[in-house]
Amino acid sequence: MIDFIKQHVLPNFGIEVEAKVSPLGNGHINDTFLVRGQHGEMVLQRINTEVFKTPFFLVNNAQKIAQHLRDKRQQAEYQLKVVSPLTTQANELAIDLGDKGFWRAINYLPNSHSIDVVGDEQQAQAAAKAFGHFSQALSDFDAEQIEDVIPQFHHLPGRIKQLEQAVATNSKQRLAGCQAWVDFALTQQSLLQELADIEPQLPKRICHNDTKINNMLFDKRDMSSLAIIDLDTCMKGHLMYDFGDMVRTFCSPEEEDSTNLSNVQVRETIFAAICQGYLSELSSILTKAERQSLWLGAKIICLMIGVRFLTDHLNGDVYFNIHHENHNLERAANQFTLYKSLLENQAALQQHLS
């Protein structure tokens, strides 16, 4: 892969073949590399076109959002760094090499540092505040300018149907090994009615849609908030899902594929820090219905990501990258356990949203 990148991808971006190329991050979907050349550093990605079937929508969306944030920054209305697309020698946002991949590059931010597990309340509050700041800066951007790169991405009814289809097909004969989790997931469909009741009241906004802790970069010099990254799934949607994904990825002391399920639980102090940080940036623009929807968003995201991992396990691991057998099943069990913890602690946690 590295040799191919050097010979066939880097020249399109004006980078010498002698540049150093190394894997970067641990994303589930795209292949990401750090390129260090004579003229600086950049991040290179091969977009997974099985997941992102219209990749030019993706790069065009990212360009529009980055430009809006750069404008806001010039007006002193956005304090974070902006991750921006880099163009090819032909002034294009990406190169399509057919079966050899769809490649794009973005600027690399020096002194950046990411974490996979929130260590304390300060980190949680800083990251939630940064994601809130990001959404606030985009609140006056016309969401209709953004294409849906994955239609119905956060759509619980559709995800439940996909699980039911995977169960009915059982193409890899894996159902027997996860029947208990399937049964549990399918008993939670009361959330569908809660969603149907509130969704018509919610405004459509540009949402990040993947507010994992490692999609907010810290400045490693002082651990201040540096930038929001990974704009691939930025689409029209509801902020309750961005809030929910922060709860999902910040609150557990374990990584999302940890099999130490006895330790997978919602840390109330971290939940409170998320609420404080996020609402400090967005309270002036959130509607009453949006604020009421945040708790539902937390429940839906934890359940839905578990459903997606479980569905992918049943289908033969065709969506998420895995590193060992049953990896997606382990992820699903982790997420369902976190969802159970949310339900068990609902009364205490909801107080922090009031």
Query: What confidence tens digit (pLDDT) does each residue in 161-202 have?
Result: 999 999 999 999 999 999 999 999 999 999 999 999 999 999
Assigned domain for 144 exists: yes
Q: Which pLDDT score, from 0 to 100, does residue 160 have?
A: 97
Q: Which of 51, 84, 108 is the last residue of a domain?
A: 108
Task: Count the domains in the chain.
Answer: 2
Q: Are 263 and 172 members of one domain?
A: yes
**pLDDT per residue as tens digits for the range 318-349:** 989 899 999 999 999 999 999 999 999 999 99
pLDDT value of residue 37 = 87
pLDDT on residue 78: 98
The answer to whether residue 258 sits within a structural domain is yes
Residue 113, in any domain of the structure: no
Q: Across residues 279-300, what is the average pLDDT?
A: 97
Residue 27 has pLDDT above 80, yes or no: no
- Residue 91 shares a structural domain with residue 130: no
Q: Are residues 14 and 136 in the same domain?
A: no
Q: Is there a contact between 187 and 196 (Cβ–Cβ < 8 Å)? A: no
How much is the pLDDT for 127? 97
For residue 25, the model assigns a pLDDT of 80
Q: Do residues 34 and 66 both lie within one domain? A: yes
Residue 239: CB atoms within 10 Å: 28
Tens digits of residue pLDDT in 85-129:
999 999 999 999 999 999 999 999 999 999 989 999 999 999 999
Q: Are residues 142 and 91 in the same domain?
A: no
Calculate what percentage of the chain has a pLDDT beyond 70. Answer: 100
Query: Which pLDDT score, from 0 to 100, does residue 26 have?
Result: 74
Is residue 61 domain-shared with residue 128, that is, in the same domain? no
State residue 322's pLDDT score: 93
187 with 290, same domain: the answer is yes
Tell me if 115 is assigned to some domain. no
Name the phi and psi angles at 123, rounded to 5.
-65, -45
In a domain, 147, yes or no: yes
303 and 342 fall within a common domain: yes
Say yes or no to pLDDT of 39 above 80. Answer: no
Query: The domain spanning residue 295 has which CATH number?
Result: 3.90.1200.10
Q: Of 70, 87, 108, which closes a domain?
A: 108
Query: Which of these three, 64, 86, 108, is where a domain ends?
Result: 108
Give pLDDT, residue 267. Answer: 97
Sorting pLDDT into bands at 50, 70 and 90, what band is 41? very high
**Where does the pLDDT of residue 28 fall: very low under 50, low under 70, confident under 90, or very high at 90 and above?**
confident
* pLDDT (0 to 100) of residue 17: 86
Task: Write down the mean pLDDT value for the chain.
Answer: 95
Q: Are residues 97 and 148 in the same domain?
A: no
Please give the average per-residue pLDDT across 281-306, as a whole number. 97
C-alpha span between 63 and 29 (Å, rounded): 20
Q: Which residues span the domain enclosing 38?
A: 2-108
Residue 40's pLDDT is 85
The verdict on residue 223 lying in a domain is yes
The reported pLDDT for the residue numbered 38 is: 85
Average pLDDT score over residue span 12-19: 90
Question: In the structure encoding, which two tokens stand for residue 97, read together?
Answer: 């090499």
CATH number of residue 55's parent domain = 3.30.200.20
Q: Is residue 54 part of a domain?
A: yes
pTM here is 0.93
104 and 185, same domain (yes or no): no
Does 206 reside within a domain? yes
Q: Tell how far CA 260 is from the center of its chain.
A: 23
Please report the pLDDT score of residue 193 as a whole number: 95
Query: In the prediction, which pLDDT does 287 show?
Result: 97
Residues 77 and 161 in one domain: no
Are residues 227 and 259 located together in one domain of the fold? yes
Residue range 52-65: mean pLDDT, rounded: 96
